[in-house]
Amino acid sequence: MFKKILIANRGEIATRIIRTCEELEIDSIAVYSDVDRLSPHVLKAKEAYCIGSAPSSQSYLNTKKILSIIKEKNIDAVHPGYGFLSENYYFADEIKKNGVNWIGPSPESIKIMGDKILARSLAYSVGAPLIPGTNKAINDLNRALEAAQKIGFPVLIKAAGGGGGKGMRKVNTENEFKTAISRAQSEAKNSFSDSRVYIEKFLEDPHHIEIQIFADNYGNVVSLGERECSIQRRYQKIIEEAPSPFINDSLRKSLSEIAIKITKACKYSGAGTVEFLVDKHKNFYFLEMNTRLQVEHPITESVTNIDLVKEQISVAAGKKLSFTQNEVQITGHSIECRIYAENGFENFLPSTGYISDMIIPQGIGVRFDEGIRINQKITPFYDPLLGKLITWAPDRRTAIQRMIRSLNEFYISGVITTIPFCLMIISHELFKNGSYSTLTLDNIYDEILSEKKIAQKNMIIPMSISAAFHSGSSNKNKTIKKEKKEKSTWKEQGDKNCLR
């Protein structure tokens, strides 16, 4: 097993990986930007090293600096988490060329499945149904328009070199088409350094279903079941659950079989996720494969009782999977709410500032994967995800009630968060009865805003909603004092971290 693992990431996923490293008695090595020097992942790690200034391009995407630390500190393996360099096959290849273990799939697998066009071709070759669309990148607008007309509006313009909702545009009519192409290409270029886009048919009322797979280097590939990820804003997930209330056993089996075929075809190793769109008639279509650990992996851990990070490290160290398909048992139900520093009632406007206070919910079946602490400054430089609240219960109804209780207990002040917004979604009848799709949030958004205004007017406001109304607006003097205090200890503690 490894002695030193460098975590090329930040926030809650870095903290999550550190915890498993501690249980395995492996030294965790953190990297950080100057604005993150007092973040939880830095304080929790065995060693931590500054890699640059706040912009990601100068720190968490600074491959040259990260590689220099890997060489200097005799690192055994690198865990990329998700986001940043996790699906960068150039970086993965450089790690391996330097004789260091990459905790993830091979650079070749990342390259194939990270390219959405190549991934579609591979999926098609093993019999996966595909959403109608183009098989090549758009390089001629007139031909692209002809293809869109043949597919039928509405269509989606999608980035070929990445996901997460970046470089994606829904186009309802021909008049919008050329402008949407241009904007999608520009966003794809900025997000992935790859301006290629392609066209897919826009499906009506689809469910976003993903299969968690795990593979080792000995030909063993296992499905750990599905996750329902249909509550989304701007094509990015907010709430996930496992198992899906929409999927039946027959469809679950079909999805898992196709996911395993795709995984084997790209000679995959480690944790990965094969994503599908499933229409209201339960017809399913391959969407993409994420060649990394997912943000929502804790709900799979909850229903399988398998530590996915531990298994990633084990497989990367050359061991076989510690379980077989027959040994995977799905028990109970789990739900995850992503807690962002955003105002869900104001079109998810990002919020920045200092976290002045925090009450984290506790109790049976409650877990919070956090990347924050009291007095921490939330900056505009990175993804606004603060952490993930996860509940588990023997049945879905109890898991929902446990999440409602936990969200009501949850309190963060100093920045506005999505806690109250998640509470209103979880409490909505469409969520409770499981009859929602990827379009549900857009359809009920105005209703949620109206309910929030009524609750505010009548003062029928749970603590978490009240916190959202008032936090971030009345602590200006406290924030100034905290900033002075933080600056006074910044250099001393930061330098100490660099030298640990």
What integer pLDDT is reported at residue 138 of this predicted model? Answer: 85
Joined together, the tokens standing for residue 418 give 């999505």
Q: For 207-468, CATH number? A: 3.30.470.20
Q: Which contiguous run of DSSP H or E holds residue 429?
A: helix 429-432
Q: How many angstroms separate the CA atoms of 205 and 154, rounded?
A: 13
- Short-list 265, 190, 478, CA closest to 353: 478
Query: What are the E-state strand segments in 99-235?
Result: 101-102, 155-159, 169-171, 197-201, 207-215, 221-233
What integer pLDDT is reported at residue 479 of this predicted model? Answer: 42
Name the class of domain 4-103: alpha beta
Joined together, the tokens standing for residue 90 give 């150039």
Name the class of domain 132-201: alpha beta
What integer pLDDT is reported at residue 163 of this predicted model? Answer: 67
Rg (CA), the chain: 22
Q: Quick check: 224 and 287 in contact, CB under 8 A?
A: no
What torsion, rounded to 10 degrees, do the Cα atoms 122, 102, 335, 462 define? -130
Cα–Cα–Cα angle for 477, 481, 483, rounded to 5 degrees: 115
Q: Quick check: 8 and 84 in contact, CB under 8 A?
A: yes
Region(s) of the chain under CATH 3.40.50.20: 4-103
Please provide the DSSP assignment of 316-382 as one string: HTTPPPSS-GGG----SEEEEEEEESEEGGGTTEE--EE--EEE---STTEEEEE---TTPEEPSSS
Region(s) of the chain under CATH 3.30.470.20: 207-468
Q: How many angstroms separate the CA atoms of 457 and 477, rounded?
A: 28
Burial degree of 177 (CB within 10 A; 0-12, 13-18, 19+): buried
What integer pLDDT is reported at residue 472 of this predicted model? Answer: 43
What integer pLDDT is reported at residue 491 of this predicted model? Answer: 39
Active-site residue, 373 included: no
Q: How many angstroms separate the CA atoms of 468 and 473, rounded?
A: 10
Angle between helices 249-265 and 116-125 (to 10 degrees): 110
Cα separation values, 452 from 425, 458, 459, Å:
12, 10, 10
Which of the following is catalytic: 292, 338, 367, 402? 292
2-17 burial by CB neighbour count: b if 16+ within 10 A, else e?
A: bebbbbbbbbbbbbbb
What integer pLDDT is reported at residue 458 of this predicted model? Answer: 63
Measured in Å, how far apart are the chain's first and last C-alpha atoms?
23
| Type of residue numbered 279 | D
Q: pTM for this structure?
A: 0.86
Counting as low any pLDDT under 70, the low residues of the chain are: 163-164, 455-500
What integer pLDDT is reported at residue 63 of this predicted model? Answer: 97
Region(s) of the chain under CATH 3.30.1490.20: 132-201
Q: How many angstroms separate the CA atoms of 22 and 45, rounded?
A: 9
Burial degree of 310 (CB within 10 A; 0-12, 13-18, 19+): middle
Paired residues of 7 in beta bridges: 30, 79
